[in-house]
Amino acid sequence: MNAKSGRRRVQAVLKRVPMTLFLLLGIILVFSLLTGPAKYLKLSNVMNVINQCASGVGILALGSFLAICSTGVDLSLGGIASLSGMLTAKLLSWAPAPIGPALLLVLAIFVALAAGAVMGSLNGLILSRTNIPSFIITLGVSKICETLSRVIAGGTTIRVNGHAAFEFIGSGSLLSVQQTTMKGARVITRSIGILPVSVLIMLALYVLFSLLMRRTPFGTYVYAIGGNYEAAELSGIDTTRTRFRVFLLGGLLAAVTGIIMTSRLTAASAANGLGMEFDGIAAAVVGGAAMTGGRSTPWRTFIGALTISVLRNGFSMIEMLPAMQMIAIGLVLIIVVAIDAARNRR
């Protein structure tokens, strides 16, 4: 192998590595310099960020990615997460329950997912039949979800009373290690979950969606629709059904987020999850999705979601004012998209 082809191979590899990964590493480097790597990069904080990603924007971002990839946008994801989380809590706090706790848990999760599916299909049904911009429809559906969530809450927050199996979803871990840190003269030993259930769920979903996008006709159709809607329609792709499925899946993913969120907080308030859809969109876009559709992959979206979580955690570690955080995230978003747009034009 000569030097030239070696360089070419490196270039080829580099080309496949998404820019966002470098951005993410750069951000991590900056934060660890500012906070002190020993503090910032210790196991418990790494797991903290990944956990925050899994119960927050991580899973939801897949839904945003799907919608954006098929030239739409889904503003109802936060609302659906709120509704599903609320339903889970409401069912689990059913007392006295007519069925055992295990069965109740299954029922609660089923109902929450079903609600996500119903709301997602409502989006999908209207969108795929009428071609009204997804922006306005999902906005409407989001408001409907929020209302349902508030009404179910009935003017209070719903607590889930010590349901260990349920709490395991959001806070449990399959494997834990002991971490010892020094705090002045005190030694603090904490057990840190290194295989958290919520993170495993997130990773499983990413593997699943990666396969779905690459290996199935559905994935091909979504990219085709995003690439060129008219051409996709002309080539015989059932655009109606594909778009319907995109939003149905989005609803399901948001429901999973809602369940994990409720499990982590062991309580649901109607405000939980609202506004998360914008984080999801930001994650997908930072990951490389173009609003014009047809680009990026689930794994790139994952990097985008991680970037958002790393930014939020890092800002709070370096004690940045919340208002400045808002400005910083706005700037990051604009800069990333501007660079992306400039590269595409070339």
Partner 1 sequence: MKKILVLFVAVLFLLSGVSACAEEYEVTLILKDNTSAGWRYLASAAIAMGEEIGVKVTENSPLETQDADQQYNAVLDAIEKEVDAICIAPVDSAGIVPALTKAYEAGIPVFTTNTRAFNEGDEVISFVGVGNEQGGYDIAKYMFAQFPEDETINLIIIDGNRTGQTTLDRIAGIERAIAEDGRVNLLDSQEAKFSRAQAQETMENFLVKYDDIDLVIALNDEMAIGSYNAIVAAGRVEEMLISGFDGTPEGLQAVLDGQISASLNQSLPGQGSEVIKAVKTYLDGGEVEEWIVVGGEVCTPENAGELLTKLIK
Partner 2 sequence: MQWIKKHLATLSRLSILLVMFLLLVIVSPSFGTMTNILNVLRVSSLTLMVATGIALCMLVGGIDLSVGATIALTSILFGSRFQLGHGIGDMVFGIAGILVVSALIGACNGFCVAWLRIPPFLATYGIQQIARGLAYVLTNGLVYSNFTSTFQFIGGGRILGIHTPIIFAALLLLIVGLMLNKTTLGRRIYAVGSNREAARYSGINVNATLMMAYILSGIIAGFAGIVYTSRLNCAEPTIGSEFAQEAIAAAAIGGISFKGGHGNVFGVVVGALILTLITNGMTLLSIDSNWQVGATGVIIILAVLIDRNTAKKKH
Stretch 285-344 residues interacting with partner 1 (CB under 8 A): 312-313, 316-317, 319, 321-323, 325-326
CB 68 within 8 A of CB 289: yes
Residue 158: CB minimum distance to partner 1, A: 8
Measure the CA–CA gap between 123 and 118, rounded to whole angstroms.
9
Asked whether the beta carbons of 192 and 44 are under 8 A apart, the reply is yes
DSSP string, 190-255: EEEESSBHHHHHHHHHHHHHHHHHHHSHHHHHHHHHHH-HHHHHHTT--HHHHHHHHHHHHHHHHH
Preceding amide of 322 cis, omega within 30: no
Q: Write the binding mask 285 to 324 for partner 2: x where contact by CB under 8 A, - elsewhere.
A: x----xxx----------------------------xxxx
Segment near partner 2 (CB under 8 A); pick from 89-97, 124-132, 242-250, 307-315 = 124-132
Does residue number 39 form part of the binding site for partner 1 (CB under 8 A)? yes
Residue 329: contacted member of partner 2, partner 1, none (CB under 5 to 8 Å, by partner type)? partner 2
Residue 56's binding partner among partner 2, partner 1, none (Cβ under 5 to 8 angstroms by kind) is partner 1
Contact 72, 134 (CB under 8 A): yes
Q: Which residue has the tokens 């990069």?
A: 41
| Closest distance to partner 1 from the beta carbon of 28 (Å) | 9
Nearest distance in Å: CB 342, partner 2: 7
| Rounded-to-integer distance, Cα 199 and Cα 209, Å | 15
Told to check if 177 binds partner 1 by CB under 8 A, we report no
CA distance 191 to 73: 40
**Among 340, 214, 213, which residue's Cα sits nearest to residue 286?**
340
Whose CA is closest to 265, among 44, 47, 55, 48? 55
Interface pick for partner 1 out of 273, 280, 287, 304 (rule CB under 8 A): 273
Kindly state whether residue 112 participates in binding partner 2, applying the rule CB under 8 A: no
* Pair of tokens at residue 116: 């996500």
Separation of alpha carbons 251 and 233, rounded Å: 24
Return the closest-CA partner of residue 255 out of 58, 79, 56, 112: 112
Task: State the nearest-atom distance from the C-beta of 339 to partner 2, in Å.
Answer: 9
Work out whether 17 is an interface residue with partner 2 (CB under 8 A): no
For residues 83 and 79, what is the distance between their CA atoms, to the nearest angstrom?
Answer: 6
- Report the candidate in 272, 278, 229 with the shortest Cα–Cα distance to residue 73: 278
Which C-beta is closer to partner 1: that of 157 or that of 220?
Answer: 157
**In the complex, what is the shortest distance from the CB of residue 100 to partner 2, in angstroms, rounded to a whole number?**
32
Across the chain, where does the E strand assignment appear? 158-159, 176-183, 186-193, 267-268
CB 139 within 8 A of CB 72: no
Query: Mask 37-76, x = binds partner 2 (CB under 8 A)?
Result: ------------------------------------x---
Closest CB to partner 2 among residues 45, 134: 134
| β pairing state of 176-183 and 186-193 | antiparallel
d(CA 333, CA 290): 12
Report what 227 binds from partner 1, partner 2, none; CB cut-off 5-8 Å by kind: none
The residues in 97-156 that bind partner 1, with binding defined as CB under 8 A, are 150, 153, 155-156
Residue numbers 8-37 binding partner 1 by CB under 8 A? 10, 13-14, 17, 25, 29, 32-33, 35-37
* Site for partner 2, rule CB under 8 A: 73, 126, 130-133, 135-137, 139-144, 146-148, 150-151, 155, 278, 281, 285, 290-292, 321-327, 329-331, 333-334, 337-338, 341-342, 345
* Site for partner 1, rule CB under 8 A: 10, 13-14, 17, 25, 29, 32-33, 35-39, 41-42, 44-45, 48, 51-52, 55-56, 150, 153, 155-157, 159, 167, 171, 181, 183, 186, 188, 190-191, 261, 264-275, 312-313, 316-317, 319, 321-323, 325-326
